[in-house]
């Protein structure tokens, strides 16, 4: 059991503590602000950017004591997280900060996943964390800040091919703006930053929850900027009641296999299942640390309300106990899809010699396989494990535990096949 080493002290009596700053205490001012009527002028897309876009005519209507601001609500994790919060905390209201898309308003994007019965408990805002004041106009920004009690920041770009400047604009500066918002919220009780375990970059061996920058290099701009963003959060934890959450690779629901994202692990599975490729540029003993989206959503919702978690960094990972090797996953895929035995090749040889030759000689789908797989190649060569001491201490008593990868892998495979890899809708049942 460990405490975070960066500006962290332990509690009295030798009890573990994750609080940043010795003896730090958080004092919250609880003020109930009366809602005021707010009329929104409509645009062709349904709202003015930076304005409250809700069907309620009385603004927030804050009769409940909790208002949780969520960024990244339309993402794969965000959708599940919003539903989890609504189910776990029936007396809580949510404020969702959502970017408009061409031809699709923030409200329309929210309506696509919000349960109809819970829409009265959700306020939708058209905004963007990469813009000043998160894209909100001053009046809405101040009112939202005054009434927010908790913040979950999960908005980020997860693309690996962004330029460093573009990734920093979204991941780093977006985090800075949300931190500024949270710091000015007088009723704030907790701030949860959803980062990634892969701030560890190209490290090997056991990565502890209390470590961040130890001289590692990074595989892409996503990892680098998420590390920089986490450093910003660390710097605020002496004065902000916050927690840093680091999920590993998030996959479908452990109970149903349902997913809306067929990236990362799903890419090699798809080409293997379709008999396009059986060669894996990776090491058989490389570690695949994946976690189901239902576990991550439950963990975030649980820790957001856990005072003992304040100041902690928590790996939401399978960890040494529940992760699997690439060889184990390959064997399970061979058994399920009745395919040939996967062939493993040293990735250094593959990408230096084999791939260039194949790229010259192959066309069509197999050539696209070689091209598309470049972004994910390093994640199948890792010999790195994530320590989960804080996660075990904080989550196990609440019954929130990451299931072993091999226990639910077949359900992920089944959903892939049944949905034709996301091409056709299928019931979660």
pLDDT tens per residue across span 265-287: 888 888 788 887 787 778 899 99
pLDDT in tens, 144-177: 999 999 999 999 999 998 999 999 999 999 999 9
Mean pLDDT of 369-388: 77
Inform me whether the pLDDT recorded for 61 exceeds 70: no
Domains with residue ranges and CATH for the chain: 12-250+289-319+385-403 (3.40.50.720)
Could you give the percent of the chain with pLDDT greater than 70?
Answer: 80
Identify the pLDDT of residue 238.
92
2 alpha carbon, distance to own chain's centre: 23
Identify the pLDDT of residue 319.
97
Identify the pLDDT of residue 355.
67
Inform me whether the pLDDT recorded for 225 exceeds 90: yes
The larger pLDDT score, comparing residue 58 to residue 132, is at 132
Indicate the pLDDT class of residue 366, thresholds 50, 70 and 90.
Answer: low
Predicted model pTM? 0.85
Torsion of CA 386, 389, 395, 401, to 10 degrees: 50
Task: Give the C-alpha distances (Å, rounded to integers) separating 123 from 70, 72, 231, 347, 366.
Answer: 10, 14, 30, 48, 46
Identify the pLDDT of residue 344.
87
Indicate the pLDDT class of residue 362, thresholds 50, 70 and 90.
Answer: low
Inform me whether the pLDDT recorded for 48 exceeds 60: no
Inform me whether the pLDDT recorded for 255 exceeds 50: yes
Q: Taking phi first (over 0 means left), then psi (-120 to 50 degrees means alpha), and beta for anything else, what does residue 264 get?
A: left
Determine phi and psi for 217, rounding to 5 degrees: -100, 170
Mean pLDDT of 43-50: 46
Q: Which pair of tokens denotes residue 161?
A: 């091919």
Indicate the pLDDT class of residue 21, thresholds 50, 70 and 90.
Answer: very low
The larger pLDDT score, comparing residue 85 to residue 18, is at 85
Mean pLDDT of 196-216: 97
Inform me whether the pLDDT recorded for 422 exceeds 70: yes
HSE (side-chain half, CA atoms, 13 Å) at 297: 24
Supply angle C-alpha 93, 192, 63, rounded to 5: 20
Q: Which pair of tokens denotes residue 66?
A: 């909790």
Query: Residue 126 in contact with residue 98, Cβ under 8 Å?
Result: yes
Rounded to the nearest 10 degrees, the angle between the axes of helix 405-418 and helix 266-273 is 60
Identify the pLDDT of residue 183.
97
Torsion of CA 246, 290, 75, 428, to 10 degrees: -140
Identify the pLDDT of residue 350.
75
The larger pLDDT score, comparing residue 21 to residue 67, is at 67
Helix intervals (H) in 19-114: 76-88, 106-111
pLDDT in tens, 104-128: 999 999 999 999 999 999 999 999 9
Identify the pLDDT of residue 114.
95
Q: Which pair of tokens denotes residue 108?
A: 């329309």
Identify the pLDDT of residue 269.
86
Q: Which pair of tokens denotes residue 162?
A: 């962004």
DSSP letter (8 states) at residue 52: B
DSSP assignments along 115-150, one per residue: -GGGGGGEEEEE--TTSGGGG--HHHHHHHHHH--E
Radius of gyration of the chain (CA): 22
Torsion of CA 130, 136, 141, 144, to 10 degrees: -90
Identify the pLDDT of residue 34.
30
Q: How far apart are CA 159 and CA 264, in angstroms?
A: 11
Identify the pLDDT of residue 352.
75
């Amino acid at each position: 059991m460990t405490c975070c080493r960066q500006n962290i002290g332990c509690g009295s009596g030798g009890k573990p503590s994750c609080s940043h700053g010795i003896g730090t205490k958080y004092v919250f001012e609880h003020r109930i602000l009366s809602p005021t009527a707010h009329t929104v002028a409509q645009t062709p897309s349904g709202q003015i950017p930076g304005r409250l876009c809700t069907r309620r005519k009385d603004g927030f209507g804050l009769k409940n004591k909790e208002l949780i601001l969520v960024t990244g609500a339309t993402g794969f994790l965000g959708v599940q997280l919003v539903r989890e919060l609504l189910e776990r905390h029936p007396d809580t209201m949510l404020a969702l900060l959502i970017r408009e898309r061409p031809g699709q308003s923030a409200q329309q994007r929210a309506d696509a996943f919000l349960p109809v019965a819970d829409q009265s408990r959700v306020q939708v805002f058209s905004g963007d964390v990469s813009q000043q004041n998160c894209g909100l106009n001053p009046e809405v920004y101040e009112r939202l800040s005054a009434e927010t009690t908790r913040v979950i920041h999960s908005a980020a770009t997860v693309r690996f091919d962004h330029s460093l400047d573009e990734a920093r604009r979204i991941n780093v500066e977006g985090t800075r703006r949300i931190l500024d918002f949270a710091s000015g919220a007088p009723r704030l009780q907790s701030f949860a930053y959803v980062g990634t375990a892969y701030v560890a970059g190209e490290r090997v061996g056991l990565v502890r929850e209390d470590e961040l920058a130890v001289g590692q290099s990074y595989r892409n701009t996503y990892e680098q900027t998420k590390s920089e963003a986490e450093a910003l959060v660390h710097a605020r934890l002496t004065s902000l009641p916050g927690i840093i959450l680091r999920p590993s690779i998030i996959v479908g629901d452990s109970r149903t296999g349902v997913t809306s994202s067929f990236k990362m692990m799903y890419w090699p599975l798809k080409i293997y299942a379709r008999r396009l490729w059986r060669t894996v540029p990776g090491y058989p003993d490389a570690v695949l640390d994946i976690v189901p989206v239902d576990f991550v959503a439950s963990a975030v919702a649980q820790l957001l309300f856990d005072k003992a978690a304040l100041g902690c960094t928590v790996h939401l990972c399978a960890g040494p106990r529940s992760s699997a090797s690439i060889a184990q996953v390959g064997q399970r895929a061979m058994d399920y899809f009745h395919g040939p035995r996967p062939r493993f090749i040293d990735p250094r040889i593959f990408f230096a010699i084999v791939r260039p030759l194949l790229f010259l000689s192959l066309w069509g789908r197999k050539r696209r396989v070689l091209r598309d797989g470049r972004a994910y190649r390093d994640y199948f060569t890792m010999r790195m494990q994530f320590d989960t001491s804080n996660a075990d201490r904080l989550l196990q008593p609440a019954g929130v535990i990451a299931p072993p990868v091999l226990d639910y892998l077949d359900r992920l495979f089944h959903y892939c096949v049944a949905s034709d890899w996301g091409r056709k809708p299928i019931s979660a049942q």
